[in-house]
Structure 1
Amino acid sequence: MPLFPTEIRRTEQQTAARIRERAAEEGFDAVGITRADRIGPELAARLDEFMALGRHGEMRWLEEKAERRRHPNALWPEAKSIIALGLNYGPAKNPLDVLAQRDRAAISVYAQGRDYHLVVKKKLKSLAGWMHREWGNDVKVFVDTAPLMEKPLSAAAGIGWQGKHTNLVSRDYGSWLFLGAILTTLELPADEPEADHCGSCSACLEICPTRAFPAPYQLDARRCISYLTIEYGGVIAPELAEAMGNRIYGCDDCLAICPWNKFASLSREITFHARPELDAPALLELARLDDASFRALFGTNAVKRIGRDRFIRNVCIALGNSGMPEAAPALQTLCNDSSEVVRAQAALALETLNRNADGRDRSGHDT
């Protein structure tokens, strides 16, 4: 006997409630649901504008997979519902504090513990496998490694909104949510999108040391420190390098300054807590890393993906900005490194160190 529409809706609501309960049991802190047929053309339009302006820089994989990224059904036509999931990675202390420590490196909060891809994907697979066993539906899991636009989809599912810095903001967890998604053939009721609660605040735009935001809700990745330290493989121009301060992997400034972080809490996922050796490590010690020691230090960490040479390039920049006389011998040594990009960046950093020996505010702004 076929079900009446009201019975179908009740069944779908019960299914969604069970999924939420199971997601919480898996350790997810936020869960929301949207439907593929509710994702409009504005998602693709924003992506097209971003790339047309060249703001994606050298991230050519965005161009190569643009068609599949425009809509979740372009990636998987059979998908009916999207379950957006968030895992809190709130830090124990303010990430901005390390920027004043000239001899120390600032590593983005998300990269101070275990690689989140490994942790989130394991939980996603467990949840998706349970769903398949319960209802026989098809499922696919995604965590930042496939052409899926997790931030706008998470906003559509109601677990946060994209702030003026284009990152997701949560009323419950502030800036600190790792995002994952499960696409499924299940028909599930959609949650309402979260409203934008940025108001007149522009703190995230104003704090950016490289001025990477042309306007609210717009990012030019070519000027973003996260892009420069992670995605960009060449020699970083002096103008941008000096503004980077001691940030050697990623940047948390626009995230950390957000007023919504007053509701943030320390992550309950122990593997996300900062490893002592990655919590403001000494720059001079990092400068001595060869390929083997780099791999040993970052073997299960997100930093490993940029490789030793790009990492040491970033360390050179921080040493050049440090104002420390003792940084000069380390940079002179790196001027003879086997890597061309390290040699070139070390030479520029040495010039910066000698020129600004009297120091400069580590945030990238004049004192």
Structure 2
Amino acid sequence: MPCSTSRTRISDPAEIRSRLQEQARAEGFNALGICAPDAAPQLPERLAAFLAEGRHGQMEWMAERSHWRASPAALWPAARSVIMLAELYTPEHDPLEIIHHKDRGAVSVYAQGKDYHDLVKKRLKRLGGWLVQLTGAEIKVFVDTAPVMEKPLAQAAGLGWQGKHTNLLSRDLGSWFFLGAIFTTLDLPKDAAERSHCGSCRACLDACPTRAFPAPYQLDARRCISYLTIEHRGPVDPELRPMLGNRIYGCDDCLAACPWNKFAQAATELRYHGPHGGPALAELAALDDAGFRERFSGSPIKRIGRDRMVRNVLYAIGNSGLAHLRPVADGLLNDPDPAVADAARWACERLP
């Protein structure tokens, strides 16, 4: 993003950093850290091992763009600094309470309101545009969808550390926050990397319903409920279906179990919060394509499509033990989507 303004530009890195911190707060970000693009040299080896084990499942895009994902410096060689930003979406209620309401679907906290991709990216673009006007530097903005490994970079920038569940934790923010990145040609003062503060705790590992962690700090996505309900196409392994419970989009169990969340700050962006209580399974199962798109317009849930959502809902119905939901599953036995029809048969077999 070249700058053509005649405004006096600032070149002192320390002053830029100070003003950037202030402006980030004004935009709604809760924390900022800066690292070099090559500040996580362990990335190539760790990513290669993860892919070699096949733990990425059907996420072929991780392997296809692994050369960029493993090396932020290769993604944009001109970058001299990576500005990592955190924005809270801390839930207002106990995120695991919904697990006990068998006739309703549990949706991950981050997906209960407006799509964070849109909200965070708008803030990043505004902040990046401000930085360009201030300095004349070039920038690139990334939020989740680009081949950028935000969590290792955020740890290198001092925002937190990757816990035993591989998600980012912070002593000040807890674990409920989104990450965004601004790559820039500016050579800004760097922050010290954060170290792990998990100690001997294994609460997150023990909380996982599907035992998706082969070891501390390792994840096998093929067993992760977030992966299974969002990324996985087609039928889910019958062995894993009972473990999904009523989780129909994502899973918060490992995050919610973390003791560091007692220090979590409240979110300031209310659009991340959805209505209290999950959606009724019977209502979701009745959605056609048009109804699904209308229901989840502006939500990150929209990306999985009607068929995958109804498949997930039928697994939840099969796990509910509620006889009054049997006709709902029965009505989808001949659904055009094979995975939906298979899930309907499975649900009917399990219900009284």
TM range (shorter): over 0.9
Residue 6 of structure 1: aligned partner? none
Matched, 1:348 2:343: no
Deviation track 1:242-286 (CA, whole Å, cap 9, x = no partner) reads: 00000000000000110011011331101111135xx31111111
Residue 174 of structure 1: aligned partner? 174
Residue 305 of structure 1: aligned partner? 303
1:16 partner SS: helix
2:98 partner SS: helix
Deviation track 1:187-239 (CA, whole Å, cap 9, x = no partner) reads: 01110111211011000000101000000000000000000000001101221
Preserved contact between residue 106 and residue 246 of structure 1 (Cα < 8 Å): yes
Residue 339 of structure 1: aligned partner? 337
Preserved contact between residue 158 and residue 192 of structure 1 (Cα < 8 Å): yes
Residue 139 of structure 1: aligned partner? 139
Deviates more, 1:332-341 or 1:106-115: 332-341
Residue 106 of structure 2: aligned partner? 106
Residue 24 of structure 2: aligned partner? 23
Preserved contact between residue 37 and residue 80 of structure 1 (Cα < 8 Å): no
Q: Distance in 1 between matches of 2:203 and 2:77?
A: 40
2:12 partner SS: helix
Residue 327 of structure 1 and its aligned partner are, at CA, apart by 1.2
Q: Distance in 2 between matches of 1:195 and 1:274?
A: 33
Residue identity in the other structure for 2:319: N
Q: Distance in 2 between matches of 1:38 and 1:248?
A: 37
- For residue 292 of structure 1, the aligned residue among 290, 293, 306 is 290
Residue 302 of structure 1 and its aligned partner are, at CA, apart by 0.3
Matched, 1:14 2:20: no
Residue 351 of structure 1 and its aligned partner are, at CA, apart by 1.5
Q: Distance in 2 between matches of 1:288 and 1:37?
A: 49
Residue identity in the other structure for 2:32: V
Matched, 1:63 2:63: yes
- For residue 324 of structure 2, the aligned residue among 320, 323, 326 is 326
Q: Distance in 2 between matches of 1:337 and 1:65?
A: 35
Residue identity in the other structure for 2:280: A
Deviation track 1:316-335 (CA, whole Å, cap 9, x = no partner) reads: 00000000001110000011
Preserved contact between residue 39 and residue 153 of structure 2 (Cα < 8 Å): no
Q: Distance in 2 between matches of 1:74 and 1:94?
A: 41
Residue 7 of structure 1: aligned partner? none
Residue 3 of structure 2: aligned partner? none
- For residue 283 of structure 1, the aligned residue among 278, 281, 284 is 281
1:123 partner SS: helix
Q: Distance in 2 between matches of 1:352 and 1:207?
A: 25
Residue identity in the other structure for 1:352: R
Which consecutive unaligned segments of at least 5 residues does structure 2 have? 1-10
* Within-5 A mapping of 1:196-215: 196-215=196-215
- For residue 313 of structure 2, the aligned residue among 304, 312, 315 is 315
Residue identity in the other structure for 2:99: L
Matched, 1:91 2:57: no
Residue identity in the other structure for 1:34: C
Deviation track 1:278-333 (CA, whole Å, cap 9, x = no partner) reads: x3111111111111111111010000000000000000000000000011100000
Residue identity in the other structure for 2:299: N
Q: Distance in 2 between matches of 1:29 and 1:353?
A: 46
Which consecutive unaligned segments of at least 5 residues does structure 1 have? 1-9, 355-367
Residue 190 of structure 1: aligned partner? 190
Normalized against structure 2, the TM-score is what? Answer: 0.95
Give the CA RMSD over aligned residues.
1.1
Normalized against structure 1, the TM-score is what? Answer: 0.92
1:286 partner SS: helix
Residue identity in the other structure for 1:85: L
Any runs of at least 4 consecutive aligned residues in structure 1 with deviations exceeding 2 A, and if so which? Answer: none
Residue 224 of structure 2: aligned partner? 224
Q: Distance in 1 between matches of 2:48 and 2:227?
A: 19
Residue identity in the other structure for 2:324: E
Deviates more, 1:107-116 or 1:289-298: 289-298
Aligned residue pairs total 342
Residue identity in the other structure for 1:29: N
Q: Distance in 2 between matches of 1:174 and 1:334?
A: 41
2:283 partner SS: helix
Residue 79 of structure 2: aligned partner? 79
Residue 262 of structure 2: aligned partner? 262
Q: Distance in 2 between matches of 1:61 and 1:73?
A: 19
2:180 partner SS: strand
